[in-house]
Structure 1
């Protein structure tokens, strides 16, 4: 491999990392603009519109549909969250009454035992209660910190959304010009190869975006079905919360379901507690088994390559690596296919 190729690959990796982090709203706007290009071209031909007018109409319809969908889903979920929050004091009171009744029954049980055994058993139980209390406090503190962080991110999300919408309009207006400007960076004989690489990358990125949406939707459906079978109140809101936490490697689904199941079992509702643990196992197995296959099929790489690239990417650079890893594999395959990147190992 020549030094020029190494430098090209290094610059490309750094550029893609920057696009997946700081430039995320522009990258998302570019992907959506590519997705909307066919409707724009259709409207230009059928409606005999200019590109600025057609792009404005399509982008406006897309933005309105996205906001409408978020409003309809968000309104229902928000109403359930409000009801859940209003009933939270009742849940805390039930928990307090449970521990008080358990303490009274424990004292009665101690009185029937010999003094030495009673003191020893009481010490073990108190130690267990202390450990459990500390763990619950830690979980509550972690969850509170997490939701506080989400609340602090709301202004950033608003800025992200505004930049994304503005970027979507601007990129859609000038997408052909941007495409030609990028191709002019290469020699004439290399432009056809880059067009092939861009086509592969476009198909892969759209497939990857579709795969992530499909995974989140399927996880939401599995979680919602489980909650409905367990007859949980506010299933829509709780299922959404679990799906959101599921995509975060720091907490994961267990951060919601394990404390919940533990509380249910301690309060005597063994059926619900065991059911929540079974639901946790089902969700984890579903994500681990289905995710590599769906992503691999969507972006055009096999499931093993998708799994390895996602794992290595996550270990190296965190959550961004889950998305950047498969994309780098796609770019590498496209460059090799058109002959722009050749790696031949000689042993003699």
Structure 2
């Protein structure tokens, strides 16, 4: 591989890292502007609008949709939170009664399990209650600090949102000029190859988004089947909530199913608790099996390369690496398809 190509790849990776950290609002705006480009071009052809009007309308509709979704979701979360806070005294009372009843020699533990097992479970429950009490005390003592930290992030979130919205409008309006300026950096012989790289990148990004939608749909079906089998209430809505949470790398399905299983156990519904834990394991294993394959096929890289890029990216730079890792592989693959990156080992 020529030295120029190696330098170009290294510089590109460093730029991508910078975009995923400091310049993330601009990168996000650029990606969305590229995805909105077909809609902008369609409006220009269909309604004879100029590019400024078409881009402004398209971006405005998208921002309005996002804000509406956030408002509705935020309102729902607020109402649910208020309702949950109102039920906390009742829940704590039920937990207290259950623990007192369970710790007696004739409690539900001794009725449900052999005597040998019941003793171990009773000891574990006592330790769990003590740990829970300590945890609640720590949470209460640090609540003011948590609220202060959240308040500190609000200005950053506001600045991020403003920069993202402005960047989205400006990039969408000037996308063609940005592309011409970018290609102008390269020689006439390389310009066609870079256009091919950009084309492959766009196809790969769209394929990646389609793959995520397909994975979410399949996971929703698996979750819905599991909830129907367990006989829980509101399976359609709960499955949707689980899928939304599962899209967040930091949380995942365990953030819903594990606390639900713990609450079911406290309520004495052992079958539901075990069923929810099994469903959590099934969903986790299912996603780990199908995600590399589906994403790999969608973006044109192998399942092993996809899995390795996800793991290495996460280990190196955290959550952002879950997105940057596959993009680096996609970018390198696009360079290979365009004939820019050629690796041939000659021993």
* Cα displacement (A) at 1:56: 1.0
**In structure 1, C-alpha distance between the alignment counterparts of 2:146 and 2:209, rounded to whole Å:** 26
Q: Which runs of 5+ in 2 are unaligned?
A: 111-116
Q: Which residue of 2 aligns with 1:248?
A: 249
Q: Which residue of 2 aligns with 1:283?
A: 283
Q: Which residue of 1 aligns with 2:124?
A: 128
**Aligned pair in 2 of structure 1 residues 337, 103: CA closer, same or farther (>3 Å)?**
closer
**Aligned pair in 2 of structure 1 residues 43, 231: CA closer, same or farther (>3 Å)?**
same
**Aligned pair in 2 of structure 1 residues 234, 305: CA closer, same or farther (>3 Å)?**
closer
Q: How does 1:164-179 map to 2 (within 5 A)?
A: 164-179=164-179
TM-score by length of 2: 0.82
**In structure 1, C-alpha distance between the alignment counterparts of 2:2 and 2:139, rounded to whole Å:** 50
Q: Which residue of 1 aligns with 2:36?
A: 36
Counterpart secondary structure, 1:342: coil
**Aligned pair in 2 of structure 1 residues 52, 102: CA closer, same or farther (>3 Å)?**
same
**Aligned pair in 2 of structure 1 residues 134, 224: CA closer, same or farther (>3 Å)?**
farther
TM-score by length of 1: 0.81
* Cα displacement (A) at 1:54: 1.5
* Cα displacement (A) at 1:167: 1.0
Counterpart secondary structure, 1:167: helix
**In structure 1, C-alpha distance between the alignment counterparts of 2:291 and 2:305, rounded to whole Å:** 12
Counterpart secondary structure, 1:318: helix
Deviations 1:12-50, CA, capped at 9 Å, x for gaps: 111111112222221111111111112212222232222
Q: Which residue of 2 aligns with 1:5?
A: 5
Deviations 1:75-128, CA, capped at 9 Å, x for gaps: 445433432332232211100111122234469x99xxxxxxxxxx99978853
**Aligned pair in 2 of structure 1 residues 311, 123: CA closer, same or farther (>3 Å)?**
closer
**In structure 1, C-alpha distance between the alignment counterparts of 2:157 and 2:220, rounded to whole Å:** 22
**Aligned pair in 2 of structure 1 residues 88, 247: CA closer, same or farther (>3 Å)?**
same
**In structure 2, C-alpha distance between the alignment counterparts of 1:225 and 1:151, rounded to whole Å:** 40
Q: Which residue of 1 aligns with 2:85?
A: 85
* Cα displacement (A) at 1:246: 6.3
**In structure 2, C-alpha distance between the alignment counterparts of 1:151 and 1:239, rounded to whole Å:** 29
Q: Which residue of 2 aligns with 1:335?
A: 335
Q: Which runs of 5+ in 1 are unaligned?
A: 111-120
* Cα displacement (A) at 1:266: 4.1
Q: Which residue of 2 aligns with 1:115?
A: none
* Cα displacement (A) at 1:326: 1.3
**In structure 2, C-alpha distance between the alignment counterparts of 1:291 and 1:201, rounded to whole Å:** 20
**In structure 2, C-alpha distance between the alignment counterparts of 1:333 and 1:219, rounded to whole Å:** 28
Q: How does 1:244-323 map to 2 (within 5 A)?
A: 244=245, 247-249=248-250, 252-323=252-323
**Aligned pair in 2 of structure 1 residues 22, 193: CA closer, same or farther (>3 Å)?**
same
* Number of residue-to-residue matches in the alignment: 336
Counterpart secondary structure, 2:345: coil
Is the 1:224–1:236 contact (alpha carbons within 8 Å) kept by the matching residues of 2? no
Q: How does 1:36-115 map to 2 (within 5 A)?
A: 36-105=36-105
* Cα displacement (A) at 1:197: 0.2
Is the 2:224–2:235 contact (alpha carbons within 8 Å) kept by the matching residues of 1? no
**In structure 2, C-alpha distance between the alignment counterparts of 1:20 and 1:231, rounded to whole Å:** 40
* Cα displacement (A) at 1:175: 0.5
**Aligned pair in 2 of structure 1 residues 138, 300: CA closer, same or farther (>3 Å)?**
farther
Q: CA RMSD in A?
A: 3.6
